[in-house]
Amino acid sequence: MEAIIPKVPEVLVALASFVVLFILLSKLAFPPVTKMLDERAEKIRESLEKAEETRVEAERLLDEYRVQMAEARTEAAKVIEQGRTVAENMKNEIVAKAREEAEAERAKAIEAIQTEKASAMAELQASVADLSVAVAGKIIGQKLSAADHAALIERSIAEVGSLNEN
Amino acid sequence: MENMGHMVEELLHELAVLPMFSEHIGTFTLTNYTFFLLIALALTAVFFLVSTRRLSLVPKGVGNVVEAGVSFVRDGLCVDILGSENGRKYFPFIGTIFFFVLFNNLIGLVPGALPGTGTIGVTVTWGIIVFLVYNSIGIKKNGLVTYIKSFVPSGTPMLLMPLIFLLEIVSHFLRPITLGIRLYANMYAGHIMLGIFTILVTISIEHLTPGSAVTGVLAFVMRVIMHGFEVFVAVLQAYIFSILTTVYINGALHASEH
Amino acid sequence: MEGSLSVLGAGLAFGIGAIGPAIGIGMIGAKTIESMARQPEMAGKLQATMFIALGMTEAIALLGFVLAFVLMGA
C-alpha cells in the first residue's frame, strides 16, 4: 500500500521542477528551435518554388529554341531548294543555248555544203556539156548547127540531171 | 535460494523511496528518486539551453538532434492530433512533458542511477498537472457549463444521463492516476527486472559450477538485451505519456462537438 | 501466514487482472498491423490511434497493479 501513496516531498519537487523546466524551455529553448524549423521549412518551400520556376523557364526556352531551330531548318531547306532551281534553270539554259548554237552551226554547214554542191553541180553540168559537145563533134566530125547544139545540150543536161537525182 | 530471497529484498529496498541525505528542512527531504529528478532537470535544461544557442539553417551536430526531437513532438504529435494552430500553441507544454519524462526515463538506465519517473509521487503529480491543464483548456475554450454538459453525449436518454455523467467524471478522474501509474509502473518494473537479472548473474558467479556458468551467461545476455529493451520502453513511455496528454487536450478543445 | 496470503492475493489480482488487457493489447496490435498492411499510407495515423487505444487498455491492467499494492499492504 505504501508504495503507491505519493510522498509529499516528491510531489513538491516534481511540481516545482516541472514548472521551472516548462518556463525555461518555453521561454528560452523552444522558440529558437521552432523558429529555425519554420524558417527552414519556408526556405525549402521557397527553393522548391524557385526551382520549379527555373524549370518552367528552361522548358519555355527550350521550346523556343526548338521552334527557332525548326524555322532555321526550313529556311535552309528553302534556300537550298532555291539554289537548286536556279542552278537547274541555268543548266537548262546553257544546254539549250549550246544546242541552238550547234544546230545553227550545223545548219550553216549544211547550207555551205548545199551551195558548194550546187555550184559544183553547175560547173559540172557546164563542163559535161562542153565535153560532150567536143567529144560528139570529134566523133561525128561534123559541125552541128547551133540549133542542134542547143538541143543536144538540153538532152544531155536532162540525162545528167536524172542521173544526179538517183 | 535463501541468498536470492535476501538479494531480492535488498533490491526492493534499494528501489523504495528513501531519503537521499540525512539532513532535511522540516519534514522536507530529497528522496533518492527526486535527487535524480533534479539531475535530470539540470541535464534537460542545460542540454536545451546550450544546444539551441547556435542553430543554423543547415543543421549540424547537437542542433540536429534537438531539431529532430522538437520536430518529432511538434509536427508528429501536436500538429498531427491538434491541428496546425493548436498544435503550435500547446507544443511548449507537451514538449516539456515529453522531454522531461524522456530524460528522466533515460537517466535511470545509467548504472547506479534511478529514473526520476520511477516513483509514483512524481508521475502522479505530473498526471495531475496534465489533468488540471487539459480541463482548464476545455473550460476556457467552451465555457464551464458547455464543458460539463459535454460529458454527456447529446441524444442520451434522460434516465441514463446521471449514470453516464458519473461514469464520465470517474473516467476523467482516473486519467491522471492511470497516466502516472503507467509511467511509474513501467519504470519501476523495468528496474526490478534488470535487478533480478543482475542478481541471477551475481549468484551464478558466487556459486560457480558448470551448470551455474551456463545460467550466468544466459542471464547476462538477457540482462544486456533487457537493458536495450528498457531504452525502448523509456522512449515509448515518454511518447505514450505525451500522446495521451495531447489526446486529452484535443478532447477538451472539441468538447462541445459531441 | 496472513502476510503470505495477502501476497498471494496481490499476485492473483494483478495476474488475473492482466489477462484481459493482455488479450486486448494483442488484438490492438494485430488489427493495427493488419490495417497498416492494407493501407500503408495511413500508418502514421493508425500508429497514433493504436497508442491511444493501448493506453486505455493498459489502464485496466494498471487498476490491477494498484489493487495488488493495496492488497500487499493489507
β-bridge partners, B19 = B31
Residues of C in contact with B16 (CB under 8 A): none
Residues of A in contact with C9 (CB under 8 A): none
Distance from CA of B178 to the nearest CA of C (A): 6
- Reported as a single tens digit per residue, the pLDDT across A54-98 is 999 999 999 999 999 999 999 999 999 999 999 999 999 999 999
In residues, how long is chain C? 74
Spans in chain A with pLDDT lower than 50: none
Write down the pLDDT at residue A111: 92
Question: Which chains form contacts with chain C, at 3 or more CB pairs under 8 Å?
Answer: A, B
Distance from CA of A25 to the nearest CA of C (A): 25
Are the CB atoms for B188 and B122 separated by under 8 Å? no
Domains and CATH numbers, chain C: 2-73 (1.20.20.10)
Write down the pLDDT at residue A2: 64
Q: Which domain holds residue A122?
A: 2-165
Identify the band that residue C60 occupies on the pLDDT scale cut at 50, 70 and 90: confident
Are the CB atoms for B57 and A40 separated by under 8 Å? yes
Decide if A4 touches C, using CB distance below 8 A: yes
Identify the band that residue C1 occupies on the pLDDT scale cut at 50, 70 and 90: very low
Q: Which of B5, B3, B11, B9 is nearest to B194 (CA)?
A: B11
Decide if B44 touches A, using CB distance below 8 A: yes
Write the CB contacts of B165 (distance below 8 Å, at least 6 apart in sequence). Answer: B151, B152
ipTM of this complex prediction, to 2 decimal places: 0.87
Only one residue has cell 559544183, namely A120
Tell me which of C62, C63, C65, C72 to substitute to probe the interface with B (most B C-beta atoms closer than 10 Å). Answer: C62
State the cell numbers at A164: 544526179
Write down the pLDDT at residue B40: 93
Write down the pLDDT at residue A148: 76
How does pLDDT run along chain B (258 residues), one tens digit per residue? 567 778 888 888 888 887 777 666 666 778 888 889 999 999 999 998 888 887 777 777 777 888 889 989 998 888 888 888 998 999 999 999 999 999 999 999 998 888 989 888 899 999 999 999 999 999 998 888 888 888 887 777 888 888 888 988 998 998 999 999 899 988 988 898 898 888 888 888 888 888 888 888 998 999 999 999 999 999 999 999 999 999 999 989 888 775
Give the phi and the psi of residue B28 in degrees, each rounded to 5. -85, 125
In residues, how long is chain B? 258
Are the CB atoms for C74 and A1 separated by under 8 Å? yes
Are the CB atoms for C25 and C57 separated by under 8 Å? yes
In this complex, the residue of B17, B38, B71 whose CB is nearest that of residue A37 is: B71
Write down the pLDDT at residue B34: 87
Distance from CA of A10 to the nearest CA of C (A): 19
Average pLDDT over residues C53-73: 81
For residues B78 and B251, give the distance between their C-alpha atoms in angstroms, rounded to a whole number.
13
Interface contact B182-C45, CB threshold 8 A:
no
Distance from CA of A4 to the nearest CA of B (A): 6
Torsion of CA B69, B75, B77, B78, to 10 degrees: 120
**H or E element, residue A62:** helix A30-140
Count how many domains chain A has.
1
